[in-house]
Structure 1
Amino acid sequence: MTDIPLPDPAVRVAGAQEIAPDLLVIPNHRAGLVPNIGVVGGTKAVLVVETGIGVANAEQVLAFAAEVAKGRRLYLTTTHFHPEHAGGAQVFAGEATYLVNRAQADDLRTKGPGYLEMFRGFGGAIARRLDGVHVPTPDVVYDDGYDLELGGRTVRLRPTGRGHTKGDQVIEVPDAGVLFTGDLAETGQFAIFPWFPPHDTDVSGVRWLAVMDRLAATGPRVVVPGHGDIGGREILTTVRDYLRELRDETWLRRASAMPGPEILTEVRALLLERHPTWTGREWIAPGITCLCTEQPT
């Protein structure tokens, strides 16, 4: 862990932005361990996308969504199981119907407790945020996708297959051209590779790249990344291009029988030179190490 106290991952609902009619995003303002959170409305119901980390954040999000809903039914979904995205879902129990894809439900059950303990190990404000948090139990679990009718607006919940996690899903709002990606895409930072062998090796650079190819081909008008600034399709192509760059530079050196430590040193230095303003430098090395274990599909 780190000896440097990490900032408090506080959700700021006062900064919500309407990016389409009856579709708001609570932006993360580039704060660490704070996701972009969506509130998507129809005439009959409202869907919340992500909870923030911990009870207090989720209570703020729920109160905000209830005010927006004004009596409309509430739903909740999360893009994947990591605690800053789903670590407040228990607050919504009895207030909203919680829907997730089956692979994410499996991740919550099998890996959720371990990730909560890992995040508590960061100490300080993060550990305090996780006081009393437990792994949530979804109300509805689906396999191949779920079309959620909100009243005059259908939202598509779509599992993507293995990428950042085994259970990633994206949320599409077709009438507004909006796509919520979770941590499949970020802006202004290196892709997050949760490569923690032997405990978690589900992240796949190869499959993640294939997911980004498919998502970029859909051509959304607005992309809401897991973390960072909202933008357009270029968010998807930038992540896709970075993952391709990471793969190609790593595999080029692996093919020449370069030792692993040298691959890591050379590729990391090259990527830092090419992307000097990006944050999340700590994720370069896990990405290289992950791809060193993978083969073309």
Structure 2
Amino acid sequence: MPFEPLTHEPAVETGQARELARDLVVIPDRGVDLVPNIGVIGGTQSVLVVDTGLGPRNAEKVLAFATEYAKGRRLYLTTTHFHPEHAFGAQAFSGQATYLVNSAQAADLTTKGPDYLEMFRGLGTPVARALEDVELVSPDVVYDETYDLDLGGRIVRLQATGRAHSKGDQVVTVLDASVLFTGDLVEAGQFSIFPWFPPYDVDVSGLRWIEVLRRLAATEPDVVVPGHGGVSGREVLADVRQYLELLRDETWARRDSDLDDDTIAAEVEALMLERHPEWTGQDWITKGVGCFCAEHSDHEAAGTGEASEGRSA
């Protein structure tokens, strides 16, 4: 979610699809803002699509690709979280695919979807055009924590991670291929996206995000498909966790020194850019600082000691 209006079309290009394993392809983001990595995963009976692209026109291209790929197999759709480039094309799949997500994500779609739609429409003419005629649809199947989807000879595990990047984050694991789709819990080659927009949205939790990444790393996937950025090995999980830990530590050290918020943000941003000069999305650094400042204050007020525990992790 960039801050400056986009001047380019956030278009999904299905012709760039890349095979990762048997009957498993990714339509890559190509490094384009507001284009996610999209998965198409097949079994003998069914095919699962992971994420839709921004708006119905992009989703229609994804649906056409998936329908041709499926060759008569049943279609399913899931989304890694409710943000517009990942989920706001689901209407194109209505009547064509069974749409399933976790209950927290379903709630996000209902309670926050309309506001995010309006916010994204303000991100420039190309984005507003992509979001024309969007209808936020309800999932067909809602689960609580884990859902094992049998595609026929292949089990794909959908798992709610709990609050991190959003309340309704979900990872998708292709068990036999050891491929993990993370959504925006992981970005490769860019700073983590913190949707920290007080007072409108403060659900992102840097502390919980770190713990989610620790749990995901313990599953030892061979391949990680991030929400944005290149397909990677499992090391990207540690890279993102270490970045978040450093962002937390440097923010909290300055908060303990009673520096003002602007100084904290400026100093931490400069440090992160020095550590990762090749990463994109630098606007998200200060949003992350804001989130960690708030979490530091919350834990200080609660007197739980969790702040100091987190720093030693």
TM-score by length of 2: 0.93
SS of 1:175's partner is: coil
Instruction: Name 1:290's counterpart in structure 2.
Output: 291
Deviations 1:141-187 (A, max 9, x none): 11011000000000000000011000000000010000000000001
Letter in 2 for 1:168: D
Q: In the aligned structure 2, how far is the partner of 1:74 from the partner of 1:36?
A: 18
Instruction: Name 1:124's counterpart in structure 2.
Output: 125
Instruction: Name 1:89's counterpart in structure 2.
Output: 90
What is the aligned-residue RMSD (CA, Å)? 1.1
Q: In the aligned structure 1, how far is the partner of 2:225 from the partner of 2:68?
A: 22
Q: Are the equivalent residues in 2 in contact too, given 1:41–1:69 (CA < 8 A)?
A: yes
Instruction: Name 1:10's counterpart in structure 2.
Output: 11
Instruction: Name 2:29's counterpart in structure 1.
Output: 28
Q: In the aligned structure 2, how far is the partner of 1:209 from the partner of 1:176?
A: 25
* 1:1-297 alignment runs, 5 A limit: 5-294=6-295, 295=299, 296=306
Q: Percent identity of the aligned residues?
A: 64
Letter in 2 for 1:195: W
Q: Are the equivalent residues in 2 in contact too, given 1:113–1:134 (CA < 8 A)?
A: no
Letter in 1 for 2:72: G
Residues matched between the structures, number: 297
Deviation at 1:191, TM superposition (A): 0.3
Letter in 1 for 2:243: Y
Deviation at 1:279, TM superposition (A): 0.4
Q: In the aligned structure 2, how far is the partner of 1:245 from the partner of 1:85?
A: 28
Deviation at 1:2, TM superposition (A): 6.0
Q: Relative to 1, partners in 2 of residues 1:268 and 1:112: Cα closer, same or farther, differing over 3 Å?
A: same
Runs of 4+ in 1 over 2 A off after TM superposition: 1-6
Deviation at 1:6, TM superposition (A): 2.8
Letter in 1 for 2:191: F
Q: In the aligned structure 1, how far is the partner of 2:121 from the partner of 2:160?
A: 28
Q: In the aligned structure 1, how far is the partner of 2:99 from the partner of 2:45?
A: 17
Q: Are the equivalent residues in 1 in contact too, given 2:5–2:122 (CA < 8 A)?
A: no
Q: In the aligned structure 1, how far is the partner of 2:28 from the partner of 2:266?
A: 34
Q: In the aligned structure 2, how far is the partner of 1:121 from the partner of 1:265?
A: 26
Q: Are the equivalent residues in 2 in contact too, given 1:250–1:292 (CA < 8 A)?
A: yes
Letter in 2 for 1:156: R
Letter in 2 for 1:247: R
Deviation at 1:3, TM superposition (A): 6.4
SS of 1:32's partner is: coil
Q: In the aligned structure 2, how far is the partner of 1:106 from the partner of 1:237?
A: 30
Q: Are the equivalent residues in 1 in contact too, given 2:51–2:79 (CA < 8 A)?
A: yes
Q: Relative to 1, partners in 2 of residues 1:2 and 1:37: Cα closer, same or farther, differing over 3 Å?
A: closer
Q: In the aligned structure 2, how far is the partner of 1:6 from the partner of 1:35?
A: 17
